[in-house]
Structure 1
Amino acid sequence: MTTAPWTVDPETCALLVIDMQNDFVREGFPMAVPMARERVPVMRGVVDTCRDRGVPVIYTQHVLYDTFDVSPLETAYIPRLREAGMRDGSHGAEIIEELAPRPDEMVVRKHRYDAFHNTPLHSVLNTIRGLRRVDTVIIIGTLTEACCESTARSAYMHDYRVAFIGDATGALSDAAQEATLRSIRGFFGRVLSAAELAAELGG
């Protein structure tokens, strides 16, 4: 059995909840991901565990505009987003009620898959527990193969340890889910289950 290169320390980690918005989760909404919807209870368990252990919870919110195309390559590859989806101020862009942020929890708005790109996320992580106290990010949410994976890779490039929670992330297919988990496991971080994470956090 291979020894883990590091374990998740509840004193030096933060949880990233990636794009768990109505438009990505609710049935019939523009970018609905059935796997993400099915895994909401597991994600809620991760959020609760982190809150119980004093781990900061940070949300990302993917936002597009009607007034101009803020993400033109995204809408070129997914043309339906030119008409609807994640619109600023809309119900669809809001974080789902089951995972709603608390008033004191950060929500980072973004326009690209990578939650670090042109956002304050790195600054938030660098200060949310005191100056440069966070060295590990825990990732849950959707889409596994797009925003979650892009953010995990970027976290690695920023020298954060990445704990990617396999049963608390949702892809568009089982094949896409497994491909991302294989990539993360091989090069960019550790893949844990929600139960394994809870054990390492001591919760």
Structure 2
Amino acid sequence: MPVPAITPYPMPLDLDPPAGGPSWRPDPRRAALLIHDMQRYFTRALPAGTSPTTALLTNIARVRDAAGAHGMPVLYSAQPGGATRTERGLLHDLWGPGLRAVPEDRDIEPSLAPRAGDTVIHKTRWSAFHRTGLAAALARAGRDQLIVCGVFAHLGCLFTAADAFTHDVEPFLLTDAVADFTPDEHRAALTFAARRFAVVLDTATLLTRLHDQGVPDAARTAPGTP
């Protein structure tokens, strides 16, 4: 089935960390940022000019700027499009052929397009670790923390964060820099991750904690900050 059209909903900003979940703190000397699947094939299902889309784009941009300000690696996951039936595997049974190998499907949202020095990880499954070079790229960069943002919370973002955990990479999921099909699925993904394998926090908290480690104030007070 195609990605469903998404009805506007507010970002969930009232999630409380569950007792017993992980308590890692993001460290810009250890962390990398992954902008997950922000390709037009997926993002055009989001409602234009309203929440969660506006907050999603703004907050990803803020985190990307903070990462760049402190020299953190910025990585993107993206599907190359035009995958064969074999390459799609069981995804084909549920979601069909997926995105085409054309710019209107493959391109990353222009406001978040990769910059010089960024790395694009091509993938064909939900997890950005599955049969990709992501784990090796993190190891080469000496990074054992991964901040995950993008779409969709209960699919690729959740599976990637879980896979980071299995690779002994501490995952962080941003409540207001991911989006989903529905607010219930958005909340459920974050709640499950926070209980089992990831630190879940909002963009403002992440930027404050990075700032405490030396990220410049400009990254925290970018124009358009909600």
TM class, shorter-length: 0.7 to 0.9
Identity of aligned residues (%): 29
CA-to-aligned-CA distance 1:168-203 (integer Å, 9 cap, x gap): 001100000110111111011110100000011114
Q: Cα distance 1:177–1:98, how it changes in 2: closer, same or farther (>3 A)? A: same
Q: For residue 123 of structure 2, what is the aligned residue in structure 1?
A: 110
What is the CA RMSD across the aligned residues, in angstroms? 2.0
Rounded to whole Å, the distance in 2 between the matches of 1:7 and 1:145 is 23
By how many angstroms is 1:22 displaced? 0.8
TM (norm. structure 2) is: 0.78
Q: CA deviation at 1:50?
A: 1.2
The one of 165, 177, 189 equivalent to 1:180 is 189
Q: Which amino acid aligns with 1:9?
A: D
Q: 1:18-167 maps to which residues of 2 (within 5 A)?
A: 18-26=36-44, 32-34=45-47, 37-38=53-54, 39-65=56-82, 68-79=85-96, 82=97, 85-128=98-141, 133-167=142-176
Deviation at 1:69, TM superposition (A): 5.0
What is the letter of the counterpart of residue 143 of structure 2? Answer: V
Q: Choose which of 31, 34, 47 in structure 2 pairs with 1:16.
A: 34
CA distance in 2, matches of 1:135, 1:55: 12
Alignment partner of 1:95: what SS?
coil
Gaps of 5+ in 2: 1-16, 216-226
Q: What's the CA shift for 1:55?
A: 1.1
User: Is 106-115 or 64-73 further displaced after alignment?
Assistant: 64-73
Residue identity matched to 1:48: D
Q: Provide the residue aligned with 2:180 in structure 1.
A: 171
2:79 & 2:175 partners in 1: Cα distance?
A: 21
Supply the AA of the counterpart residue of 2:31.
C
One-letter amino acid matched to 1:40: L
For the residue of structure 1 that corresponds to 2:87, the secondary structure is coil
Would the alpha carbon gap of residues 166 and 62 (structure 1) be closer, same or farther in structure 2, given more than 3 Å must change?
same
The CA distance in 2 between the partners of 1:178 and 1:68, in whole Å, is 32
Aligned length: 190
Using the size of structure 1 for normalisation, the TM-score is 0.86
